Structure 1
Amino acid sequence: MVDVSQHELVPDHTVLDEGALEDVLEEYNIKKTDLPKIKRADPALPDGAEVGDVVRIERNSRTTDTAVVYRLVVE
C-alpha cells in the first residue's frame, strides 16, 4: 500500500504542541474551534494526530515562498 503522506505533492503536516498552539491562537486572536477543520481520516495527517489536535500545514507558494495554514483535527 502507498503512504500518501510521503508523496512529493503533499505539503508538510506537523502537529503543534501546546506552546506553539497558544502562540498561534494569540497571534490571530481566535479560539481553537474557529480554525478550519481537517478529518482524522485524511491520509495526509501524521500518524500521531488525534481529534482535537491542531496541525500546521506548510505549502509551497509562488507569491510567498511558503504559505502556512492551520487545521483542527475532527472526527
Structure 2
Amino acid sequence: MQILGGPQSGKSTLLRSLISFFALTHTPHEVQFYGLDFGGGGLSAVAGLPHVGGVASRLGPEKVRRTAA
C-alpha cells in the first residue's frame, strides 16, 4: 500500500489507525507491517507492536534501503 498526500493532511494518522485496527483483529502471523517515515516520525508510535517489523526514517538511509528491498 502507498499513501500519498500533502503536508499535515493526515497520512500518518491514517496509517497508525490502520495498523492499530489490524493489530487488534489479526495475529502477527497474519499481518506484518514495514514503514518508511520521511515526515515527523508519526509512525514511531506503532513501532513497538509485534505486527511491525520495522519503521525506517530519513535519518537511517541504510535501514530505508533494507526496508525497501
TM-score of the pair, normalised by structure 2: 0.29
Higher-helix-fraction structure? 2
Q: Larger relative contact order (C-alpha < 8 A, sep ≥ 6)?
A: 1
TM-score of the pair, normalised by structure 1: 0.28
